Amino acid sequence: MNVVLVTGGTGLVGRAIQNVIEHDKRENEKWIFVGSKDADLCDKESTRKLFDDHRPTHVIHLAAMVGGLFHNMSHNLDFLRNNIHMNDNVLHTAHEYGVTKIVSCLSTCIFPDKTSYPIDETMVHNGPPHPSNYGYSYAKRLIDIANRGYYDQHGRLYTSVIPCNVYGPHDNFHPSASHVIPGLMRRLYDLCKDGASTEDKVFTVLGSGKPLRQFIYSIDLAKLIIWALREYDSVEPIILSVDEAQEKSIAQVAETLARTFNFKGKVVYDTSAADGQYKKTASNAKLRKYLPDFQFTPFEQAIKETVDWYIKNYDRARN
């Protein structure tokens, strides 16, 4: 029996994996989803107790301190230290307990700031990350270094995936700590709530609206992470992203959201706010070699599902 422990199992990606696994569970697999209430992964003893209780054979390591541009900019040291501690505790405890495979999550936003495009898996360590999120980035990059070490020294198949921006149900919608899509959704929700007329309202988007991003629906990412756990047998990281042609500007995202919320007022771009990296286009060519026919959910459909979920679950969402 394979016992799969999912750290960060209560978060955006963890919940999506739970959702997919409900329909795609295999006979020889037992899945365990844990959040910060089950163990503080910044703490070695708490991490040990978790592994002692569940004795996993496989780990999907999602737990991390995660935040949007503005939260990262003001808390780089916290992002660095918390993530280094969590990653080292999980990887090393897993090794001590004989875990045979780990899939950890890096992110496309940890790549070098100055780079050529599209970014690919060989470029993770090729230069400093964008100054806005260096703490998070260096902590994440070290997972790849550790994976290589566990393979070289112990023959372990600990690998990593590199998702682009993720969105979907169970995201963090907190106004100051959220990523762009849930942040904009939260603002639109507040503008549109109680069926108020929106014609004379203003929806302010921070930044110019020009930066380009690839967004992956959490359910699509969940399917790909489960595939990586079952089938992807290399220590080398693999980018899990939509195709390059599916890149969107922040303005396109804001307008899609405004339409989905049926917002009738004015969309305004506050150019005094930081834009972050202009683009960070990633190539999914490696993924496409393995899964040429994988169908990503169309953006409008996935946004609609996410907005519907948020409106229905506002009271229990992370606000």
Active site residues: 136
- DSSP code of residue 119: B
- From candidates 163, 169, 183, 211, binder to ligand NDP by CB under 6 A: 163
Is 142 a residue that touches ligand NDP (CB under 6 A)?
A: no
Nearer to ligand NDP, 83 or 198 (CB): 83
With contacts defined by CB under 6 A, name the span among 159-167, 192-200, 254-262, 295-303 that binds ligand NDP: 159-167
Site for ligand NDP in 13-52 (CB under 6 A): 13-14, 35-37, 39-42
Nearer to ligand NDP, 187 or 198 (CB): 187
Using CA atoms, how far apart are residues 131 and 112, in angstroms rounded to an integer? 10
Q: Tell me which residue has its CB nearest to ligand NDP.
A: 11
- From candidates 165, 214, 241, 260, binder to ligand NDP by CB under 6 A: 165
Is 253 a residue that touches ligand NDP (CB under 6 A)?
A: no
Report the chain's terminal Cα–Cα distance, integer Å.
Answer: 38
Using CA atoms, how far apart are residues 238 and 97, in angstroms rounded to an integer? 25
Q: Show the DSSP H helices in the chain as ranges.
A: 12-23, 44-54, 69-74, 76-96, 134-154, 180-192, 218-231, 250-260, 285-290, 299-313
Q: How many CA atoms, within 13 angstroms, populate the side-chain half-sphere of residue 174?
A: 11
Using CA atoms, how far apart are residues 267 and 271, in angstroms rounded to an integer? 13
Is 78 a residue that touches ligand NDP (CB under 6 A)?
A: no
Tokens 């790909």 sit at which residue? 224
Is 8 a residue that touches ligand NDP (CB under 6 A)?
A: yes
Per CB under 6 A, residues contacting ligand NDP are 8-14, 35-37, 39-42, 62-66, 86, 105, 107, 163, 165-166, 172, 179
